[in-house]
Structure 1
Amino acid sequence: MRPIQGFDIDLTEVTIGSFRQFVDATGTVTLAERQNGGLVYAAGWQRQPGWTWATPFGVPAGDDEPAVHVTFDEAAAFCRWAGKRLPRASEWRLAAYTEMRPAAPPPFRQGRSYPYPTGDTPMGANCYQDCGATAAIDHRAVLRRGIGHAPAGRSKAGVNGLYDMAANVWEWVDTWADADRRDRRLTLGGSWWYGAAQMHRDHSAGKPPDMAVVYIGFRCAQDWP
């Protein structure tokens, strides 16, 4: 984990291997599994039979890939099981966009805020088309858009030395998109399905907390003692 300011945050998105340990320990059966597959957007939301956290694109995936097809509540349950919690939006944004390391390697500088989690530009993230070369696993055969996610920690390290805060997969945070309506949870950071605009510090998106989607994952945070 990386210390930020009053809390630590995971260096990478939670992986399939870690989520499998949680499933084995708790007996959790995810909503996507119960519904015979999670969702992908292709001219509207479509359920894909067999697409789950273990088989995100319908085929077995590596333990180092991000765990997706996970609802907000399932993500929160994993973090509790691990002795952590989901980060709040304010914490996630601080970690993603403001460099806190006293001896940050170039080009990052302590105390400076950046427009993207990768720094001044979106280059090096696993986003759709406008972020340069990535380490994405090619699933174009089953997708109408994009390539797919990259293994956790394989893309360029960004602000605070964190991986994939920019794109790869959206990340659930413990903040309502609308505090009055309380029907959608924020997801931050963008994903492989979207371009650089969704990675920008001013952007966010809301999703119903019971959605299990191919491009939404999460990471955990932990309060300082």
Structure 2
Amino acid sequence: MSTIPEQNPLLELSPQDLRAHAAAALTRARERSVALTDAVDDEDLVRQHSKLMSPLVWDLAHIGSQEELWLVRDVGGREPLRPDIDDLYDAFQHARADRPALPLLGPAEARAYVREVREKAFDVLETAPMEGRRLTESAFAFGMITQHEQQHDETMLATHQLRKGEPVLHAPEPPRAPARKLPAEVLVPGGRFTMGTTAEPWALDNERPAHEVDVPAFVLDTAPVTCGAYVEFLESGGYHDQRFWSEPGWAYRQEHDITAPRFWRREPDGWWRTRFGVRERVPENEPVVHVSYYEAEAYTRWAGKRLPTEAEWEKAARHDPESGRSRRFPWGDEEPTAEHANLGQRHLRAAEAGAYPAGASPLGVHQLIGDVWEWTSTGFHGYPGFAAFPYREYSEVFFGPEYKILRGGSFGTDAAAIRGTFRNWDYPIRRQIFSGFRCARDPRPGEAG
């Protein structure tokens, strides 16, 4: 295994350049938050479109509340702006289903609040030290808040997918895949690799620390499972054949009469879906999205395969067989661009399988970053040597087998909130998120060399 250290451009920046980088990241996140909330009227902002989601106006004020707590009060040592609303926007005190009944800030008040918080946060950023305290080292606190806002922006995007009515969000189409067809699978050689990170300045606690993992050889699909492939599973009766489902998955499918991915509908002329208010035919070559862990698991069994473990996924995404080192991303250490991956709500859909050849791994695995979150078979846990930071409620309180790990981000994930080490988690029943998957399998006799 290589001893070459992790590479990260943030580590080379001066304090002033770090401040500029953090300011740009915060500004990009706020522009997205404003676009998502300005796209609808006030009535829509306060409406709960699903009991799984908060009203959009709650998300907006919660973004401001967290920014005030960490940047204004903690890093800046400033007087609280609105201590009276701390409890209202504490996600652990109020379930999403109950939030509409709370005395929330109205749209105008919420917008004014987040603007005032941002002005004070920028004042703090101008003089905050970039060293000497773990929370401010390499502008970590500002990166944490950027990622928090972008994560809520993706949540708000999911709320937009759940809302009824005419389309209000618009974006250009993603690039088409080259005509050359991808190989279906690649063999990932066995051996040790470095999983997680110690050097990534804005990595969150559950990504740390870097540690060695021995991963036996496995075979991985070169692209996420497409809608066309998933239709074959549907048409073969896969949703009604208990052999392919786990016991809890089958029980959940029956109880809720789940017969297709969320937002899909069978019509006399084929499968259709609704995407951000647009009704369209299910596209054959796009990765399937809005499937639960249970659905993904059933498909892989039907296909004679399985879901990858989290360690397998990360090895495929980060390990460079030639140098032996772990990269930040499949393509290398540089930040994602529009040529590498479908990220940041640049498009309002996943791109066709193979549409980002510049983002492929050294072994030829495509779209590991962006397009759809990918379910893995691993439950959420801390790495060896895990230490909660800066608070237990970010990760530690969720550790346990009831959550499953998702990797790689989606078209709704911003580049600031994704990397090869980033870990997402959710209940295996979740389908409103932008989740898909790819298949893995054990090598056949003689296949691994």
TM-score bracket for this pair, using the shorter chain length: 0.7 to 0.9
Query: Do structure 1's residue 125 and structure 2's residue 341 form an aligned pair?
Result: yes
Write the letter of the residue equivalent to 1:162: V
Q: Secondary structure at the match of 2:425?
A: strand
Q: Who is 1:72 aligned against? A: 293
Write the letter of the residue equivalent to 1:91: E
Moved more, 180-189 or 24-33: 24-33
Superposed CA RMSD in Å reads: 2.8
Summarize deviations over 1:56-115 as a string: whole Å, max 9, x none: 624212110111121101101111111110000000000011123xxxxxxxx4423210
Distance in 2 (CA, whole Å) between partners of 1:51 and 1:188 is 27
Selected match of 1:158 from 360, 381, 401: 360
- Classify 1:194/1:209 alpha carbon distance in 2 versus 1 (closer, same or farther; 3 Å): same
- Classify 1:51/1:4 alpha carbon distance in 2 versus 1 (closer, same or farther; 3 Å): same
Write the letter of the residue equivalent to 1:4: V
- Classify 1:198/1:56 alpha carbon distance in 2 versus 1 (closer, same or farther; 3 Å): farther
Query: Do structure 1's residue 85 and structure 2's residue 306 form an aligned pair?
Result: yes
Q: Secondary structure at the match of 1:206?
A: strand
Residues 310 and 378 in structure 2, CA contact (< 8 A), matched pair in contact too? yes
- Classify 1:188/1:12 alpha carbon distance in 2 versus 1 (closer, same or farther; 3 Å): same
Q: Secondary structure at the match of 1:182?
A: strand
Query: Do structure 1's residue 111 and structure 2's residue 295 form an aligned pair?
Result: no
Query: Do structure 1's residue 97 and structure 2's residue 313 form an aligned pair?
Result: no
- Classify 1:34/1:77 alpha carbon distance in 2 versus 1 (closer, same or farther; 3 Å): closer
Gaps in structure 2 of 5+ consecutive residues: 1-184, 190-216, 241-251, 383-398, 445-449
Q: Who is 2:420 aligned against? A: 201
- Classify 1:34/1:62 alpha carbon distance in 2 versus 1 (closer, same or farther; 3 Å): same
Summarize deviations over 1:134-180 as a string: whole Å, max 9, x none: 7x5xxxxxxxxxx2211121123421211110111100000011486
Distance in 2 (CA, whole Å) between partners of 1:118 and 1:54 is 34
Summarize deviations over 1:105-138 as a string: whole Å, max 9, x none: xxxx442321012322212110006xxxx7x5xx
- Classify 1:219/1:54 alpha carbon distance in 2 versus 1 (closer, same or farther; 3 Å): farther
Query: Do structure 1's residue 173 and structure 2's residue 173 form an aligned pair?
Result: no
Residues 16 and 65 in structure 1, CA contact (< 8 A), matched pair in contact too? yes
Q: Who is 1:139 aligned against? A: none
Give the deviation of 1:190 after TM superposition: 0.8
Distance in 1 (CA, whole Å) between partners of 2:265 and 2:367 is 22
- Classify 1:114/1:82 alpha carbon distance in 2 versus 1 (closer, same or farther; 3 Å): same
Query: Do structure 1's residue 28 and structure 2's residue 252 form an aligned pair?
Result: no
Q: How does 1:209-220 map to 2 (within 5 A)?
A: 209-213=428-432, 215-220=434-439
Q: Who is 1:142 aligned against? A: none
Q: Secondary structure at the match of 2:377?
A: strand
Distance in 2 (CA, whole Å) between partners of 1:210 and 1:23 is 18
For normalisation by structure 1, the TM-score amounts to: 0.75
Distance in 2 (CA, whole Å) between partners of 1:68 and 1:154 is 16
Residues 68 and 213 in structure 1, CA contact (< 8 A), matched pair in contact too? no
Give the deviation of 1:23 after TM superposition: 1.1
Residues 261 and 289 in structure 2, CA contact (< 8 A), matched pair in contact too? no
Higher helix share: 2
Choose 1 or 2 for highest CA Rg: 2
- Classify 1:224/1:199 alpha carbon distance in 2 versus 1 (closer, same or farther; 3 Å): same
Distance in 1 (CA, whole Å) between partners of 2:186 and 2:261 is 33
Distance in 1 (CA, whole Å) between partners of 2:439 and 2:218 is 10
Gaps in structure 1 of 5+ consecutive residues: 39-48, 101-108, 137-146
Residues 169 and 189 in structure 1, CA contact (< 8 A), matched pair in contact too? yes
Share of identical aligned residues, percent? 31
Write the letter of the residue equivalent to 1:65: E
Write the letter of the residue equivalent to 1:96: A
Selected match of 1:55 from 273, 293, 307: 273
- Classify 1:27/1:113 alpha carbon distance in 2 versus 1 (closer, same or farther; 3 Å): closer
Q: Who is 2:396 aligned against? A: none
